Structure 1
């Protein structure tokens, strides 16, 4: 008997969640397309590029609103069970509320595993394609995609400067590298532009000049084109606004460690992205428990009351998540605390609501 009920609830859990995704994602695509269609037609964007963009958009959009979709789907089908007095019948047969929650927790584990896969591997790839298309075709001009005025310390002795960098062409302009020994400038390399050559994994400098500073003299080397190796990577020149979102988990960890050694001011932003990959699957369990506790009681207002209450809770959760995320990105607020604080608060709320639902 219980196994039949478990399968019944589990199938409803997963099916309703899938339907919620299939319902809202096309709406999101339609709204986005209606907003962007003018620029897409104006720039004559190739259809394969548009199709890939909306595939990336689907994954990006699903990852962004994952908790909201899950929460609403659980409230929806659990409210239907309550309104049909199915929950009353289950509990009246001697099944405890904790036992009633079992198929929900199994469903949460499946969805949390999918959320983990999405956050660690699929979402970074989608984010890269989504942002590349947006900056290349949808911004007002091509320069919107370029990083401006990059000045980075790449190791203990070397500093680089590029006036602007285009990740699509892998080309930077007005490049300078300064090498120090302590406080003494030993040599300075400059070029009109620098381009990364994939096939050779080298950098090509145009109008190359190297000035070597000795005690009482200066040596100047110049050439029209010069291919060489450098100790920095292309990611040192890419836009900081979304670079962390494009890395899979292992790459992101290595990137953060390297940025810490360089004293980057964007560590908070990068660590928020890192910790969210793990906090999202945990939020699946918390929001499921809240949704079940809220919607398992048959109310006079019916499903509408439960949905209204659920949407309010979901919006508060998203608000907390965004506010604390921005605090960690823009200040010294600890990223670990910022990312996990909403889960802790709503975890406490889940325990309280679950206790009252059992009563």
Structure 2
């Protein structure tokens, strides 16, 4: 799939850390470091939807925020249009931020309650000075509202007057108005009612075709990812442990034990499939990123772990074209 695609963005060996020390004063030598992302690498191809999945706290959202440089990584590179975004100043980044936009998880917290809906949607275009005058900007706001299924006559209302699904549509319109090439969607339907989720997901799919968009789609619900994504990167404790086309996860056996456990937990309505299905139950709890295990980050929960796993960290290796796994003893 990727051989004939245009490479639009590269993430290379991304490391993100946060100092979460408590007390001790300004000059205290005792520091507590949280390793949120620990060497993530992947390529993103034009027109695809790459899913980032994994348990809460695995580093999915942090990875997305570092792509757009809302956080600055400790090390690594994010290459877009031949430039490493991590090396640019805030002023230089503004030239690219209009082309990489984000839709956030919480449609209630992500909208400024003091701004009207029209002002919220127009804000990115004003910051990036994308329209010649106020008339053109207002016309663009109306067009965006209509495109995402909102009545333009309500653009002078405030966010509190809208439902959760409508607010997420406002967030999508805000992301679209700057004509981005890439949209980072951070669990965009997880806070919505189930009855509304399908509508918003279908809107994302329609907009991708219409505007030739590329998505990084973050989710913990694998049924959503299966519906939306062309490829899936599975994250665990700040690492990508498997990356492959979506069909290979659901129609073939995943190669990493953690991925196998995730897939086995997805509900399948077909009773015949359920009869022959292997259920994989992980042992133990997810280790804290404040104190990750040595070697393979998954070894403390893995039934296949051996001595090598406690001393060496497996790298992401291509086991077959387009399928990468970070495991010394992958499923065959």
TM-score (norm 2): 0.28
Q: Which has a greater percent of helix?
A: 1
Q: Which has a greater percent of strand?
A: 2
